[in-house]
Structure 1
Amino acid sequence: MKIEADHDLCQGHAMCSMEAPDVFTVAKHGTVEVLMDTVPDRLRDDVEAAVKYCPTRALGIIED
């Protein structure tokens, strides 16, 4: 699985980094940065929660 992040939609709320801190980071007053090119299956639940709870819907999952 891969993650797509729309930086135009991201407002830096950092919900993603709270749900999946191994996968996402958000700098203070910045936008989301995806830390992995390919996300391992063991982190799937965390990533799905991050996508679900993103207030601006800036994240998406791309299946391999």
Structure 2
Amino acid sequence: MRVRVDDDICAGHGVCVATCPEVFRLTADGFSEVLVDVVPAEHVEAARTAVEQCPEHAIEMEID
């Protein structure tokens, strides 16, 4: 699984970071970015939850 944050949509709420800090972090500008190319198996469920809970729907998920 891969995830991508749409920089044009992200409002920096940080829900993804709170839900899955192993995959997401906030930049110095306060917006989310993805830390990994492929989400490790042990973090897939948390990453899916982050996608579902993003208030702006700024995270896209791609299943390999």
Fold match by TM threshold 0.5: yes
1:11 aligns with 2:11: yes
Using the alignment, how far apart are the partners of 2:5 and 2:27 within structure 1?
15
Instruction: Choose 45-54 or 23-32, whichever is displaced more.
Output: 23-32
1:57 aligns with 2:26: no
Could you report, residue by residue, the CA deviation over 1:10-55 in whole angstroms, capped at 9, with x for unpaired residues?
0000000000000000135421110000111111110011001100
1:42 aligns with 2:45: no
Equivalent position SS for 1:12: coil
Length-normalised TM-score, structure 1: 0.91
1:2 Cα deviation from its structure 2 partner: 0.6
Tell me how many residue pairs correspond in the alignment.
64
- Note the aligned Cα RMSD (angstroms): 1.1
The unaligned stretches of length 5 or more in structure 1 are none
Using the alignment, how far apart are the partners of 2:7 and 2:30 within structure 1?
10
Using the alignment, how far apart are the partners of 1:17 and 1:58 within structure 2?
13
Length-normalised TM-score, structure 2: 0.91
Using the alignment, how far apart are the partners of 1:29 and 1:11 within structure 2?
11
**Identical amino acids, percent of aligned pairs:** 36
